[in-house]
Amino acid sequence: MGMISNIFNIDSIYQEDEDVLLFWQKKIFTCLFLLLVVIGIIPYVLSCGYALKNSEWIRIFIYTFIYLWTCGVAFLKQIPFKTRIWAGISGFYALGMVSMLSTGLMGSTRLYFMFFSILATVFSGIRGGLFSLLLNMATLAVFGVLYSGKIIIPADPRWIPDSMEWVILTGTFSFLCAFVTFFLAALVKALEISGKEFKHLAKNTPDIIGTLNPGHVELREKLIQAEKLKALGILAGSVAHDLNNILSGIATYPEVLMMDKNLDPRIRQGLSLIKDSGQKAAAVVSDLLTISRGTAVEMETININSVLERYVRSHDFQKIRDAYRNVAIELATEPELLNISGSYIHIEKVIMNLLLNAVEEVSGKKDGRVMITTSNSFIDPSIPGHEDIIQGEYAVLSVTDNGSGIDEKNLKKIFEPFFTKKEMGKSGTGLGLTIVWNAVQDHRGFINTASGIKGTRFDLLFPAVREEIPPKPISGPLDDIKGKGQMILVVDDLKDQQEIAVTILENLGYQAKSVDDGFAAIEFLKKNPVDLIILDMIMTPSISGLETYRMIKKIRPGQKAVIASGYSESDDVLTAQDLGAGSFVKKPYTILDMGIAVKEELEK
């Protein structure tokens, strides 16, 4: 009856008095400040060097104190978590104060104060967010009085705006800060509720099915697994949608700013770092969407050999090689491997997770070896061991290691979410093989696993297709995807998403307008014809993107559209495309992604 607790390992992941949200808050907080310690060494050294050159000893003391403070917050885990939270995020407030005293309101002051409010909301909820918001507003008001009375003068007096400019700047900042604070507070609350529901479901599902026939052990285990994956998928999909929307500003907007040819090289380098970090975060969110079942996967004709060849040339593969130099990684591919209908990125994630799992397993051996192979196979269900597999041709991806193997008891659990025999958070999250299992299911494939004292072998069978791989269009410069003043309407319920899309479109030579929901879009189109609409699929609390497009087609039957969403390509997207909508662009998108989608749809 306690199978869920054993598989999910709730007691080992969460303390008795700790909920799911608090667990992830601790993990994220620790990762964030460890990242700040590592990355912060560069600006710390550069800032101290500049201050030393100008004999600004006070600045050196302040920079050193803040950096050591950050190190203490990251490493002194014996301090209560709530104390560490406020000790950590107060550093951003302190940096804002220093920036205010040196460069006034025009420097990095507002950015530091904004991060102070964001982190306070994420880690302390609505109360922490409100406290930080009010503190920021009070600080700006006090400095406004001090500057206007010339009681305090920054290092460069030119950075002091006049009274009216001060009111406008601080008012705009306060409004934006309040919006972000309340938005994040609502998101954190939703995650807290979802986490409690998920934990309750995980603990109580065995009781619900406890009355089943004791002889149906395998059926009972599959039912528990299905319920757990469903709950995790719903949670992962909801979180991924919101995170992708938030990440758009981090992964996409820097690219817009970098279109300025006169941009300072140092600023361009910083924006490039922000953009790359945002895209890496988006890749993590993509893992969450892989777990989220019920979302359609964009399929195309691909060859697993091509995916494997590109992966072994990637930076991620090289990192694994460098980290496990004592492990021999060998490849043997079938030259005539059959094509499959699949998702390039999902197959690559499958390879990465299986490889990482294998090299970690054999890393302690002197002769550790991992073999990745591909082959063709015809499956006959009448052969013992293949009874559950549909007859037909398959392209097979196999990963074999010579480790100590997996015992029979754990072999049945390895695809369970968060199941791992390694230290949670150190060697992974316990989701790697869950991602593999979900990806294979989405491709209508099968997994055969064999393990013994001589090692473990994973065979992934993907249904083969007798179709040729279509040639990929060659991406040209941005000039090739620029418009000629066509009018485009952006329909999205989030203001920041509207701003990002409109800015990209205007930089690509289009005219662009935006509206908040489906009803506003319909009213706009009744009075103003447009060449194209960019439509979000999930708009709350208004009508959905699909319903919006259905109503638009009634008044403008030939209306062209591109779909943009932070969620995976869902059934709603496919239905909208059947109605006549064009490409699907997943947030956070790049300028090239959006430019190509818009250009192709307009030229149809």
Q: Which residue has the tokens 């499958």?
A: 350
Q: Measured between alpha carbons, how far is 465 from 393 in angstroms, rounded to an integer?
A: 8
Residues paired with residue 448 on neighbouring β-strands, in sequence order = 459
Q: What is the mean pLDDT of residues 416-424?
A: 60
The beta-strand segments (E) located in 63-178 are: none
What local confidence, expressed as pLDDT, does residue 493 receive?
Answer: 87
**Half-sphere exposure of 520 toward its Cβ, with a 13 Å CA cutoff?**
13
- What does the pLDDT average to over 548-575? 85
Cβ(7)–Cβ(203) under 8 Å? no
Dig out the tokens for 242 from the structure.
């919101």
How much of the chain, in percent, has pLDDT values that exceed 70?
75
Higher local confidence (pLDDT), 593 or 252: 593
Higher pLDDT, 19 or 459: 459
Confidence (pLDDT) at 473: 57
Helix 571-579 to helix 545-555 angle (10° resolution) is 10
What dotted CATH number matches 304-465?
3.30.565.10
Whether 336 and 343 have beta carbons less than 8 Å apart is answered as no
The CB density around residue 143, as the number of other CB atoms within 10 Å, is 22
Nearest to 225 by CA among 64, 413, 93: 413
Q: State residue 260's pLDDT score.
A: 72
Residue-level pLDDT at 328: 92
Torsion angle of the four alpha carbons 244, 249, 252, 255, in this order, in degrees rounded to the nearest 10: -160
Pick the range with the lowest mean pLDDT from 103-117, 182-196, 220-234, 502-516: 220-234
Side by side, the strands of the sheet bearing 584-586 are: 511-515, 487-491, 532-536, 561-565, 584-586
8 Å CB contact between 299 and 547: no
Q: How far apart are CA 375 and CA 377, in angstroms?
A: 7
Mean pLDDT of 168-189: 78
Pick the closest to residue 544 from 509, 499, 513, 579 (CA basis): 579
Distance between CA atoms of residues 584 and 573, nearest Å? 7
Does pLDDT of 489 surpass 60? yes
Query: How far is 257 from 236, CA to CA, in rounded Å?
Result: 31
Give me the pLDDT at residue 189, please: 75
**How high is the pLDDT of residue 420?**
64
Over residues 313-322, the mean pLDDT reads 86
Supply the pTM of this predicted model.
0.47
pLDDT at 242: 66
Give the three-class secondary structure for 489. Answer: strand
Question: Per the structure block, which two tokens stand in for 419?
Answer: 């199941």
Query: How far is it, in rounded angstroms, from Cα 290 to Cα 285?
Result: 9
Nearest to 588 by CA among 256, 270, 282: 282
Q: For residue 6, what pLDDT is reported?
A: 38
pLDDT tier, 550 (very low <50, low <70, confident <90, very high otherwise): very high
Say which amino acid occupies 149: G
Q: What pLDDT shows up at residue 533?
A: 95
Higher pLDDT: 18 or 471? It is 471
**Per-residue buried b or exposed e for 98-121, using 16+ beta carbons within 10 Å of the residue's own CB:** bbbebbbbbbebbebbbbbbbbbb
Average pLDDT over residues 562-580: 80
Beta bridge partners of 462: 395
Give the model's confidence band at 209: pLDDT under 50 very low, under 70 low, under 90 confident, else very high.
very low
Domain 478-602 is in which class? Answer: alpha beta
> Could you tell me if 508 and 595 are in contact, meaning their C-beta atoms sit under 8 angstroms apart?
yes
The whole-number pLDDT of residue 332 equals 93
**pLDDT score at 405:** 85
Read off the pLDDT band of 429 (50, 70, 90).
low
- C-alpha to C-alpha distance for 50 and 52, rounded to whole angstroms: 5
- Give a three-class secondary structure readout of 26-52: HHHHHHHHHHHHHHHHHHHHHHHHHHH
Is pLDDT above 60 for 301? yes
Give yes or no for residue 427 having a pLDDT over 60: no
Lowest mean pLDDT of 206-210, 318-322, 532-536, 595-599, name the range. Answer: 206-210
The confidence score (pLDDT) of residue 3 equals 36
Has residue 397 got a pLDDT over 90? Answer: yes
pLDDT, residue 294, reads 47
Query: Residue 12 — very low, low, confident or very high, per pLDDT cuts 50/70/90?
Result: very low
Q: Model confidence at 80, in pLDDT bands (50, 70, 90)?
A: confident
* Domain boundaries, given as residue ranges, for the chain: 3-183, 304-465, 478-602
Taking 80 as the threshold, does the pLDDT of residue 495 lie above it?
yes
The separation between CA 230 and the C-alpha centre of its own chain, rounded to angstroms, equals: 20
Q: What is the DSSP code string of 515-526?
A: ESSHHHHHHHHH
Write out pLDDT tens, residues 44-68: 888 888 888 888 888 788 788 888 8
Q: What is the mean pLDDT of the chain?
A: 78
